[in-house]
């Protein structure tokens, strides 16, 4: 298919057919995995480079733009799909695109110029700053020259706004000198307010693409001018990127963007505008953080009431999710110094209100499902979609609770304690699995940050968590396993019986034949193994370790959940460094297995790239070097470990 498409793209005998072939190529590139497009990349890019040359020459002679525009968009799509692999074609292609950018300044080529800029910016994101930096600066300087003549209705405007953001993403804080140039058009577009009208039904011109009409009864329709709404949405998304990537360099624009974002939280016509407005707020707080807590508080006092007000009336689940996420991120930026007692109580109230709304929506869905004339297939599909959306909202509520605990510590439990009955309701087996998953996550945070306060409720939540270890959904099993691991780490004597009794169910969960049948299942299984390691290492559980260790070794190596890997491999290192007889085995018979596990951990990149992971990696590497000190034994052990060539190469690197 791809060779046939490329042959048609190269055929200049009919511009429209060639352009359609380029459009088909664009569709091919969308969501195309990198490993697939890499196989076709040389053929595609050689063809597109040749086609672009002939199309631009044809445009200069005949003035026909369609084919050239589609080829430019196709190049952008290929770059977006290929990412860093595109670097091999950069030096051949980018000078040609810059040439087009310079030589298409007349009004009739505005869209072509915009598509060229779009293509250049997507290529820049694909290849990265090191390769694109000089060209990015040259492009921005070139655009700066044409900015005085740019109007809001210029066809280039939307392309420019999106491309500036990509270039900002590449340049980072080096983009700051261009803010005076770009912020005017972006702010103007982001502040756009559409025309609206209530008209008689017979006055509606429903064929007008610039207007959208909705019947409001009494032979009347509500009309909204939709032209400009997409551009507003794009501009609001751009403001998120500028605030995020430029931080304190964005300071001169914080107040204007803050005012606009608060206004846009109430922009009812486009959901994505409200989402972007919410997402911008925490980044604006971060922009002013270096100015001190009073400046942060001043902004927070504007943002917090606006977020609460929006949450009280918002019905679109995607927007609710964005609003809660914004509140959770704002909490981290404001910190314990900036949160008042009233703020904390209000946040707990918001959490409670959202749980109530979640429950009300669930009851409504159940009532709808029970209706006699309901179509079972339609209801099933609708419930599945709604459960997914509800899961995202609960996930953001989980982030909010976690961030509040992280900021305030144990004292936030005072606010959650009255809500425990509602939280425990979420873990009911009859509910959708995200409800159980995040119900357990809420309990996990209570255990982690307020273990002693939470201990008195064990009789209520432990049976539910044990039940979750055998849940059919790995996400639920993972949350429960993590919770038992936390009890083992920080719970102390109050949780000793609980974690001791949890070892067998955890082992059963990990040993299930289907435990690693999916990626999510592997993540849950890694959490189960980590929980066992934490309980054995930290809790002082009254168990015969010699009975558990053989099973523990049989579960390794792990690699799916790198955040839990330091606990797993750290405990393995503890056992080896202490010369635990069960780990080493009779006459050191387990050494080949140990070498296999350690080398596999490095080959699979099981440990996280942080200080915690590096410390464990260093210990594991040292164990291998100690074993190597007895060269004769080491050779025999390596031979018995049955390492493939990749692992042997890794072993050589580790002991060199």
The CATH number assigned to the domain holding 358 equals: 1.25.10
Integer-rounded Cα radius of gyration of the chain: 30
From 498, 515, 543, the end of a domain falls on: 543
319, 271 contact by CB (below 8 A): yes
Statement to judge: residues 449 and 371 lie in one domain: yes
| Average pLDDT, integer, range 186-199 | 83
- Give me the pLDDT at residue 498, please: 96
What's the pLDDT tens digit per position in 348-402? 999 999 999 999 999 888 887 777 676 777 777 777 888 889 999 999 999 999 9
Q: How many CB atoms lie within 10 A of CB 424?
A: 17
Single out the residue of 204, 216, 159 nearest to residue 185, CA to CA: 159
- Asked whether residue 624 is assigned to any structural domain, the reply reads yes
| Average pLDDT, integer, range 427-444 | 95
- Asked whether residue 177 is assigned to any structural domain, the reply reads no
- Give me the pLDDT at residue 203, please: 65
Q: What whole-number distance in Å separates Cα of residue 69 and Cα of residue 56?
A: 9
Backbone angles phi, psi at 225, to 5 degrees: -80, 110
Provide the β-strand partners of residue 225.
211
- Give me the pLDDT at residue 36, please: 84
313: pLDDT strictly greater than 80: yes
Name the percent of the chain lying above pLDDT 70: 94
Q: How confident is the model at residue 328 (pLDDT cuts 50, 70, 90)?
A: very high
Statement to judge: residues 398 and 460 lie in one domain: yes
Cα dihedral sign for 19, 24, 27, 33? negative
Q: Which residues contact 289 (CB under 8 A, 6 or more apart)?
A: 296, 333
- Give me the pLDDT at residue 416, please: 96
| Average pLDDT, integer, range 54-73 | 80
Q: Under DSSP, is residue 216 helix (H, G, I), strand (E, B) or coil?
A: strand
Cα dihedral sign for 128, 131, 133, 137? negative
Q: How many CB atoms lie within 10 A of CB 286?
A: 19
56, 40 contact by CB (below 8 A): no
* Tokens describing residue 258: 């803050």
- Give me the pLDDT at residue 66, please: 81
Q: Where are the alpha helices (DSSP H) in 212-340?
A: 229-246, 254-264, 271-287, 293-313, 317-338
Q: What whole-number distance in Å separates Cα of residue 59 and Cα of residue 104?
A: 11
Statement to judge: residues 406 and 513 lie in one domain: yes
- Give me the pLDDT at residue 196, please: 73
| Average pLDDT, integer, range 468-477 | 97
Statement to judge: residues 570 and 526 lie in one domain: no
Count of domains for the chain: 2
- Asked whether residue 14 is assigned to any structural domain, the reply reads no
| Average pLDDT, integer, range 256-275 | 96
Statement to judge: residues 476 and 358 lie in one domain: yes
- Give me the pLDDT at residue 205, please: 65
Statement to judge: residues 510 and 564 lie in one domain: no
- Asked whether residue 378 is assigned to any structural domain, the reply reads yes
Statement to judge: residues 566 and 654 lie in one domain: yes
427: pLDDT strictly greater than 80: yes
Q: How confident is the model at residue 107 (pLDDT cuts 50, 70, 90)?
A: confident
Q: How confident is the model at residue 21 (pLDDT cuts 50, 70, 90)?
A: confident
Statement to judge: residues 449 and 349 lie in one domain: yes
- Give me the pLDDT at residue 30, please: 84
pTM of the complete model: 0.88
Q: What whole-number distance in Å separates Cα of residue 369 and Cα of residue 380?
A: 8
In which residue are the tokens 């207007």 written? Answer: 211
Q: What whole-number distance in Å separates Cα of residue 329 and Cα of residue 344?
A: 14
553: pLDDT strictly greater than 90: yes
| Average pLDDT, integer, range 544-557 | 92
| Average pLDDT, integer, range 283-305 | 97
Statement to judge: residues 538 and 594 lie in one domain: no
Q: How many CB atoms lie within 10 A of CB 83?
A: 15
What's the pLDDT tens digit per position in 531-543? 999 999 998 777 8
Statement to judge: residues 368 and 517 lie in one domain: yes
Q: Which residues contact 362 (CB under 8 A, 6 or more apart)?
A: 390, 431, 435
Long-range contact set of residues 335-340: C-beta below 8 Å, sequence gap at least 24: 335/293, 335/407, 336/407, 336/408, 337/293, 338/293, 338/296, 338/297, 338/300, 339/407, 339/408
Q: What whole-number distance in Å separates Cα of residue 566 and Cα of residue 562?
A: 8
- Asked whether residue 172 is assigned to any structural domain, the reply reads no
Q: Under DSSP, is residue 420 helix (H, G, I), strand (E, B) or coil?
A: helix
List the single range of 40-49, 172-181, 491-500 with lowest mean pLDDT: 40-49
Statement to judge: residues 530 and 439 lie in one domain: yes
Statement to judge: residues 560 and 499 lie in one domain: no
pLDDT averaged over every residue in the chain: 90
From 497, 519, 543, the end of a domain falls on: 543
- Asked whether residue 405 is assigned to any structural domain, the reply reads yes
- Give me the pLDDT at residue 312, please: 96
What's the pLDDT tens digit per position in 574-604? 999 999 999 998 888 999 999 999 999 999 9
The sheet carrying 211-217 orders its strands as 196-200, 220-225, 211-217
More confident residue, 365 or 564: 564
201: pLDDT strictly greater than 80: no
What's the pLDDT tens digit per position in 212-262? 666 656 666 666 777 788 889 999 999 999 999 999 999 999 999 999 999
List the single range of 73-87, 265-279, 369-383, 528-542 with lowest mean pLDDT: 369-383
Q: How confident is the model at residue 150 (pLDDT cuts 50, 70, 90)?
A: low
Range of the domain at 350: 340-543
- Asked whether residue 277 is assigned to any structural domain, the reply reads no
The DSSP code for 196 is: E
11: pLDDT strictly greater than 90: no
Rounded to 10°, the helix 179-190/156-171 angle is: 130
From 543, 571, 598, the end of a domain falls on: 543
- Asked whether residue 23 is assigned to any structural domain, the reply reads no
């Amino acid at each position: 298919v791809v060779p046939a498409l490329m042959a048609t793209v190269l055929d200049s005998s009919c511009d429209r057919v060639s352009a359609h072939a380029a459009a088909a190529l664009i569709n091919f590139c969308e969501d195309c995995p990198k490993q697939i497009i890499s196989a076709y990349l040389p053929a595609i890019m050689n063809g597109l480079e040749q086609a672009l040359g002939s199309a631009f020459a044809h445009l200069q002679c005949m003035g026909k733009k369609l084919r050239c525009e589609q080829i430019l968009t196709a190049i952008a799509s290929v770059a977006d799909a290929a990412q860093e692999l595109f670097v091999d074609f950069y030096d051949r292609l980018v000078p040609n695109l810059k040439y087009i950018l310079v030589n298409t300044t007349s009004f009739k080529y505005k869209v072509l110029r915009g598509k060229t800029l779009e293509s250049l910016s997507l290529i820049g994101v694909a290849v990265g700053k090191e390769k694109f930096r000089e060209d990015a600066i040259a492009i921005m300087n070139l655009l700066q020259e044409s900015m005085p003549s740019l109007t809001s209705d210029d066809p280039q405007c939307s392309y420019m706004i999106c491309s500036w953001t990509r270039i900002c993403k590449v340049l980072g804080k080096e983009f700051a000198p261009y803010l005076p140039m770009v912020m005017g058009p972006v702010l103007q577009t982001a502040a756009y307010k559409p025309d609206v009208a209530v008209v008689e039904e017979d006055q509606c011109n429903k064929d007008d693409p610039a207007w959208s009409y909705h019947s409001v009864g009494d032979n009347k329709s509500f009309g909204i001018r939709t032209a400009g709404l997409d551009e507003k949405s794009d501009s609001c998304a751009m403001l998120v990127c500028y605030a995020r990537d430029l931080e304190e360099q964005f300071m001169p624009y914080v107040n204007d963007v803050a005012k606009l974002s608060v206004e846009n939280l109430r922009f009812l016509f486009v959901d994505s505008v409200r989402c972007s407005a919410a997402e911008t707020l925490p980044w604006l707080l971060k922009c002013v953080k270096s100015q001190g807590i009073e400046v942060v508080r001043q902004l927070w006092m504007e943002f917090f009431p606006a977020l609460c007000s929006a949450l009280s009336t918002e019905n679109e689940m995607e927007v609710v999710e964005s609003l809660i996420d914004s509140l959770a991120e704002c909490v981290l930026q404001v910190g314990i110094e900036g949160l008042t007692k009233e703020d904390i109580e209000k946040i707990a109230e918001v959490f409670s209100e959202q749980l109530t709304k979640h429950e009300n929506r669930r009851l409504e869905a159940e009532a709808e499902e029970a209706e006699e004339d309901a179509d079972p297939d339609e209801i099933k599909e609708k419930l599945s979609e709604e459960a997914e959306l509800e899961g995202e909202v609960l996930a953001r509520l989980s982030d909010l609770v976690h961030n509040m605990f992280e900021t305030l510590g144990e004292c936030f439990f005072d606010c959650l304690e009255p809500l425990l009955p509602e939280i425990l309701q979420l873990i009911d087996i009859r509910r959708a699995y995200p409800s159980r998953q995040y119900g357990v996550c809420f309990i996990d945070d209570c255990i982690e940050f307020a273990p002693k306060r939470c201990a008195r409720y064990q009789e209520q939540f432990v049976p539910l968590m044990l039940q979750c270890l055998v849940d059919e959904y790995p996400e639920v099993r993972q949350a429960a396993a993590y919770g038992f691991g936390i009890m083992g780490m920080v719970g102390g004597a109050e949780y000793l019986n609980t974690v001791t009794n949890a070892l067998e169910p955890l082992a059963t969960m990990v040993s299930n034949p289907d435990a690693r049948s999916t990626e999510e299942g592997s993540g849950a299984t890694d959490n189960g193994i980590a929980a066992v390691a934490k309980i054995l290492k930290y809790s002082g559980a009254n168990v015969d370790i010699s009975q558990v260790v053989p099973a523990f070794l049989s579960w390794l190596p792990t690699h799916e959940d790198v955040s839990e890997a330091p606990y797993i491999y750290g405990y393995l290192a503890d056992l080896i460094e202490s010369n635990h007889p069960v780990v080493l085995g009779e006459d050191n018979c387990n050494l080949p297995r140990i070498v296999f596990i350690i080398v596999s951990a490095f080959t699979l990149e099981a440990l996280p790239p942080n200080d915690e992971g590096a410390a464990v990696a260093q210990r594991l590497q040292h164990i291998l070097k100690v074993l190597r000190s007895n060269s004769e034994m080491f050779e025999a052990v390596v031979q018995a470990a049955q390492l493939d060539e990749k692992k042997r190469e890794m072993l050589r690197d580790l002991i060199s």
